[in-house]
Chains A and B, each alone.
Chain A
Amino acid sequence: MTDLWLVVLVASAACLGLKLAGAWVPRAWLDSQRVRVGLSLMTVGLLAGLVVTQTLSQDGGLGLDARLAALALAALLLWRRAPFLVVVVAGAGAAAGLRALGWG
């Protein structure tokens, strides 16, 4: 078994385990408003971190390229209440178009 399979298996088991825990954990355990807000803001933090790293990471450091323009377009579309799929496809299209023109 390769290391990559190990990562895939362990991470999948963890995610599945969390789903099962949600179905079996006594409701009282998570009844604290503080815990709920904490976990919900942790998700917000993780997603914000993913946006930043997915947009700006380049060869182990920071770099600006077509992804930033694509993200700006995505933000504009989300602000205009575009559906999820439109946002994702437009982001890909913007980056692909800019790269075809030789930018980023």
Chain B
Amino acid sequence: MSERSGGSAGDATAAARRQAVSVAVATGLYGVSFGALAVAAGLSWGQTLFLSAVMFTGGSQFALIGVIGAGGLGSAAVAGAALLGSRNGLYGVQLGPVLELKGWRRWLGAQLTIDESAAVALAQPDQASRRVGFWWAGAGVWLCWNACTALGALAGEAMGDPKAWGLDAAAAAAFLALLWPRLTDRRTGLTAVLAGLVALVVLPLAPPGLPVLAAGAVGLAVGLSGRTTATGVEP
């Protein structure tokens, strides 16, 4: 909490900080299941920790170990992770004028640009609290995510079959939970259904990883084929 006499700006930054911390704790716990699933998919402890520290973007990390665990091609695992990671680049573009970073802070800020830090930052009412929200959420998630990945990787070796703990279902539920808030209109919903159906058809025919890329291609094609208007793009 801010020590200053309760001005509204101080309240806003304190609120941003609280929101950032709660988001960091929640996603950090989810890191336990990443650590355990990564080890179960055949990654070493070092590879698992490296992904959380350097790749540091949950959707891509789960996509990568999903393909590896299913025995898919390395190239498909890389492509899936990279395509999912492209949205962080978009967040970076949106956050540029908010953060106005220079020098080493710009590099650090880029690495901490993920779903959670972008969402917390862009939800705040003013420039100062947006910056506080970004740094607290980014750094907080990084710390919790990595600590919990390490815990999960250790636990994963001890817990045996991850299926008995439902960890494969946890990953499916997590992807649905990441998708859900994006389903804000009819067009996005129809795109998700169409992409899901394509993945379903391709699944028995292609090596693991490709069904996901095919689904992404469907989404991209729908998005690019829309008619652009002054207010947005219509199908």
Q: Which residues of A contact B (CB under 8 A)?
A: 3-12, 14-16, 18-25, 27, 30, 33-57, 60-62, 66-67, 70-71, 73-75, 78, 83-85, 87-97, 99-100
Contacts and interface: CB of A to CB of B under 8 A. Distances in A.
Contact of A91 (B26, B164, B173, B217): B173
Given A38-B224, A44-B219, A74-B173, A18 B85 contact: yes
A77 B89 CA distance: 30
Given A42-B223, A52-B211, A92-B165, 20 more contacts: A11-B60, A11-B77, A12-B51, A14-B82, A15-B60, A18-B85, A24-B106, A30-B90, A43-B219, A44-B182, A45-B191, A46-B80, A46-B83, A49-B195, A55-B169, A60-B204, A84-B30, A85-B29, A88-B177, A95-B169
Interface of chain B, main secondary structure? helix
Interface in B162-189: 163-180, 182-183, 188
Interface of B: 26-27, 29-30, 33, 42-44, 47, 50-51, 54-57, 59-60, 62-64, 66, 68, 70-71, 74, 77-78, 80-93, 95-97, 101, 106-107, 109-111, 113, 163-180, 182-183, 188, 191-193, 195-196, 198-200, 203-204, 208, 211-220, 222-224, 226, 228, 232-233
Contact of A53 (B42, B177, B203): B203
Contacts of A23: 92, 96, 101, 106-107, 109-110, 113
